[in-house]
Amino acid sequence: MVEPELIKAAQAGDRDALVTLLREIEHQVYRTAYYLLNHEQDAMDAAQEALIRVYTKINSYEEKAQFRTWVQRIVTNICIDKFRRKRPSVSIEEHDLVFQAGADVEGEVLSAYAAEDIREAIGKLPEHHRTVVVLRYLQDFSYNEIADSLNLPLNTVKSYLYRARQQLQVLLHDYQKGGVRG
């Protein structure tokens, strides 16, 4: 956690404090960018852009919000922008997969998914679902913290997260079946 004193010093104009602050959040910012963009160089670019924005906007941070949710809001916004510029948007409906509970669920071999498969599957989620999953699992955010970061109602966050897990589960299940069938 970033010390409130450090933030105050940075806001008071102490540049060294501000740079130290950036160093403290550097990894968490990069991690979100990496999993949202699923591309190392894009993530480096987005994370640097986010750090620069934190630097210039530090005075607009207000204590009533958590610092880390404020930071994550900045980085997720940048990533979503990049993401929209890069690809045509995919409607949530297209990805709206129905709850699959059937014979195929039974007898599944429960081997571990490769981290790479999971990352790839996350990359296939619609942007908001992806963002919610990343904040939940890569930043260990609570429902409320995610809602604050993304400026979304709590119920929306929950439904995105549930739907995202459902979709991931189907996608990964397909990978596994694909692997078995060759």
Partner 1 sequence: MNCQEVMELMQRSIDGDLDEQETTRMMAHVQTCPECAAMLERLIRLSNELAQLPRVLPRYSLVDAILPQLEQLTPEPAVVPAPAYAEEAETADEPVYKPRGRSNRPGRAPLYRRLAGVVALGVIAGLIIANQPFSWLSSTAKHNDAARAPEMADYMSQSAATASAGEGDEALRLSPQTKAITNEPSEENQGFAQNVQPSDGRTQDGAGEKSQPAAKPVPTNHDKIGSGSGEGSSAGAKATDVPKADADASGSAANPGIAPSEKSPIASDKTIAGGAYSLMATELSEWASPDGKLTAYTEANAGAISIVKTEDATLVFKSDPRDGAVSDVQWSDDGQELHYTWTDAEGRVKHLKWVQATGLESER
Instruction: Give whichever of 12 and 90 is closer to partner 1, judged by the CB atom.
Output: 12
**Nearest of 41, 35, 33, 71 to residue 53 by alpha carbon:** 71
Instruction: Give whichever of 39 and 92 is closer to partner 1, judged by the CB atom.
Output: 39
Q: Where are the alpha helices (DSSP H) in 13-153?
A: 15-37, 40-57, 67-86, 92-95, 115-123, 127-138, 143-150
What is the closest distance, in whole angstroms, from the C-beta atom of residue 90 to partner 1 in the complex?
A: 21
Instruction: Give whichever of 91 and 99 is closer to partner 1, judged by the CB atom.
Output: 99
**Nearest of 29, 15, 33 to residue 68 by alpha carbon:** 29
Instruction: Give whichever of 28 and 66 is closer to partner 1, judged by the CB atom.
Output: 28
Instruction: Give whichever of 127 and 159 is closer to partner 1, judged by the CB atom.
Output: 159
What is the closest distance, in whole angstroms, from the C-beta atom of residue 83 to partner 1 in the complex?
A: 13
What is the closest distance, in whole angstroms, from the C-beta atom of residue 69 to partner 1 in the complex?
A: 17
- DSSP code, position 87: S
What is the closest distance, in whole angstroms, from the C-beta atom of residue 149 to partner 1 in the complex?
A: 16
How many CA atoms, within 13 angstroms, populate the side-chain half-sphere of residue 35?
A: 25
- DSSP code, position 59: G
Instruction: Give whichever of 29 and 147 is closer to partner 1, judged by the CB atom.
Output: 29
Q: List residues binding partner 1 (CB under 8 A).
A: 1-3, 10-13, 16, 18-20, 22-31, 34-35, 40-41, 43-45, 47-49, 51-53, 55-60, 78, 81, 99, 101-102, 105-106, 108, 110, 112-113, 115, 118-119, 133, 136-138, 143, 158, 161-162, 165-166, 168-169, 172-173
Angle in degrees, CA 37, 143, 170, rounded to 5? 55
Cβ contacts of 82 within 8 Å, gap of 6 or more: 37, 42, 45, 46
What is the closest distance, in whole angstroms, from the C-beta atom of residue 94 to partner 1 in the complex?
A: 21
What is the closest distance, in whole angstroms, from the C-beta atom of residue 112 to partner 1 in the complex?
A: 7
- DSSP code, position 112: P
